[in-house]
Amino acid sequence: MATKHYLFPTDYMADPAVHVFNGKIYIYPSHDWDAGECEDDDGGHFQMKDYHVLTLADPDQGLAEDCGVIFDVEDVPWAEKQLWDSDVVEKNGKYYNIFSGKGYDGVFRLGVAVADKPEGPFIPQPYPIRGSFSIDPCVLKDDDGSIYTYFGGLWGGQLQWWQPLAPGFTPVIGKHGDENGLTDMGSAPTKQDELFAHPDTPALPSLVVKMSDDVLQFAEAPRPVVIVGDDGQPLKASDPHRFFEASWVFKRDGKYYFTYSTGDSHLICYAVGDNPYGPFKYEGVILTPVVGWTTHHSIVAYQGKWYLFHHDSVPSGAKTWLRSLKVCELKWDANGKIKTIEGLD
- Residues 157, 31: Cα–Cα separation, whole Å: 17
| Residue 91, helix vs strand vs coil | strand
**Known active-site residue 40:** no
Which of 61, 113, 57 is closest to 88 using CA atoms? 113
- Strand duo 280-287 + 206-210: pairing: unpaired
Phi, psi dihedral angles at 146 (to 5 degrees): -65, 145
State how far the alpha carbon of 303 is from the alpha carbons of 2, 25, 188, 333, in Å: 18, 11, 46, 19
What is the residue type of 265?
Answer: S
- From the list 15, 85, 90, 239, the catalytic residue is 15
Q: Is 74 exposed, middle or buried (0-12, 13-18, 19+ CB in 10 A)?
A: exposed
- Cβ neighbour number for residue 2 with a 10 Å cutoff: 16
- Residues 163, 253: Cα–Cα separation, whole Å: 32
DSSP per-residue codes, 207-248? EEEEBPTTSSSBSS--EEE-EE-TTSSBPBTT-TTS--EEEE
**Known active-site residue 220:** no
- Strand duo 245-252 + 227-228: pairing: unpaired
- Strand duo 280-287 + 227-228: pairing: parallel
- Residues 151, 99: Cα–Cα separation, whole Å: 10
- Residues 168, 198: Cα–Cα separation, whole Å: 11
- From the list 239, 245, 283, 312, the catalytic residue is 245
| Residue 43, helix vs strand vs coil | coil
115 within 8 A of 134, measured Cβ to Cβ: no
Residue positions annotated with a catalytic role: 15, 245
